[in-house]
Structure 1
Amino acid sequence: MTSQYARYREDADVLAAIGAAVGEQAGRITVRLPRALADAAVAAWERDEIEPLPAETPEQRVLRDRAAELALIGLAVSERGRREGDVVEVDLDAGAVGAAVRAAPR
Structure 2
Amino acid sequence: MQDEEQYVRYGDDAQVLADLGRHLSPQIDRIVVRLPRAVAEVAVAGWNRDEPGAVGEESRDQAALCEAAAELVLIGLALTERGEWHADEVVVALDVVEVAAALRASW
Unmatched 5+ stretches in structure 2: none
Structure 1's consecutive aligned runs of 4 or more residues displaced over 6 angstroms after TM superposition are: none
| In 1, Cα distance between equivalents of 2:27 and 2:66 | 29
Which residue of 76, 79, 82 maps to 2:81? 79
Q: Deviations over 1:40-73 (max 9, x none)?
A: 0001111111232121111111100000000000
Aligned pairs (5 A) from 1:81-100: 81-100=83-102
Unmatched 5+ stretches in structure 1: none
| Structure 2 counterpart of 1:47 | 49
**Root-mean-square deviation (Å):** 1.2
| Structure 2 counterpart of 1:70 | 72
| In 2, Cα distance between equivalents of 1:76 and 1:51 | 23
| Equivalent AA in structure 1 for residue 101 of structure 2 | A
| Structure 1 counterpart of 2:8 | 6
Q: Deviations over 1:51-105 (max 9, x none)?
A: 321211111111000000000000000000001220000000000000000001x
| In 2, Cα distance between equivalents of 1:17 and 1:58 | 27
Instruction: Name the % identity.
Output: 50
| In 1, Cα distance between equivalents of 2:58 and 2:36 | 32
TM-score, length of structure 2 as denominator length: 0.93
Question: Of the two, which has the highest radius of gyration?
Answer: 2
> For 2:14, what is the secondary structure of its paired residue?
helix
